[in-house]
Amino acid sequence: MKIAFLGLGNMGTSMARQLVRAGHDVTVWNRTLSKAEPLRSEGAKVGNSPAEAAQAAEFVVTMLADDAAVEAAVLSPTGAITTLPQDATHISMSTIGVALCNRLAEEHRRRGHHYVAAPVFGRPDAAEAGKLFIAAAGEKTAVERCRPVLEALGQRVFVIGDQPLMANVVKLSGNFLIASVIESLAESIALTRKYGIGPHQYVDFLTNTLFAAPVYKTYGGLIADQKYQPAGFALRLGLKDIRLTLTAAENVDAPLPIASVIRDHMLTAVARGLDKHDWSVLGQLAAENAGLK
């Protein structure tokens, strides 16, 4: 299959590599073009613009940092939508807001394209191993057409529904849950440390009893180790996702009081210069608030 892959950050580079390894004809693009060179040596082509990358594609995949980056790569005068052939499909794998999702779906429909939202769950190591979990939504035949692409990237594809926004809501709500786990771990570890209980001992107890899920093991370990750099998922991106979640919730009158608290704690961490740290750096914030180092 001919695939244009737009966005070569921590996740995108590994995902594009998986598609090359799966034997697809892949053209990559990144705003900083030098990041595409390693993939060229592995068999990918490199486009100088999103429009150039997409001009002969059957699928264009976007894996970009935020709404503004997706909008620029797809809808600008040099965006992929300007050259994407009719009947081609845009697979949007970024974490974006519901409003932009709806706009993209409508713009593609007007131009005779298909649009599938397929955001992913997993950190960079899962992307490198092709073990992401993918939440996909869109018109049924379009989602099925995307399966060979999605299955090259993830260990399981969950079809959420026939409206693309459904996948984005699942992704936003899922990231809200992860952030809630990080916040509660951060506070719990700070509390137990104040009573002289070692963080590694505490996390070992938690993750071998009632809280054996990967999310507790991953983030509990990072907080216990105080290992917040390099960032697997930067705090600034986590704050962006919580803001998008709150906007989605407000649109349907669904209060999320915990999300509001997490947003404020993330803002505090950003104000302290921690925006490029992993979002588990909320553990550092909780410790400092408790008078710990």
For residue 230, say if its preceding peptide bond is cis, omega within 30 degrees of 0: yes
pLDDT at 160: 98
pLDDT one-digit tens code per residue, 154-195: 999 999 999 999 999 999 999 999 999 999 999 999 999 999
- Percent of residues, the chain, with pLDDT higher than 90: 99
Distance between CA atoms of residues 121 and 100, nearest Å: 20
Domain ranges across the chain: 2-162, 169-289
The CATH code belonging to domain 169-289 is 1.10.1040.10
Intrachain domains 2-162 and 169-289 with the same fold = no
Residue with tokens 């996740």: 11
The answer on pLDDT for 293 being more than 90 is no
> If you average pLDDT over every residue of the chain, what do you get?
97
pTM equals 0.95
Residue with tokens 């697979």: 91
pLDDT one-digit tens code per residue, 238-278: 999 999 999 999 999 999 999 999 999 999 999 999 999 99
pLDDT one-digit tens code per residue, 35-71: 999 999 999 999 999 999 999 999 999 999 999 999 9
Read off the tokens for 176.
């809200």
Q: Which of 148, 125, 131, 139 is nearest to 167 (CA)?
A: 139
CATH architecture entry for 2-162? 3-Layer(aba) Sandwich (3.40)
> What residues act catalytically?
171
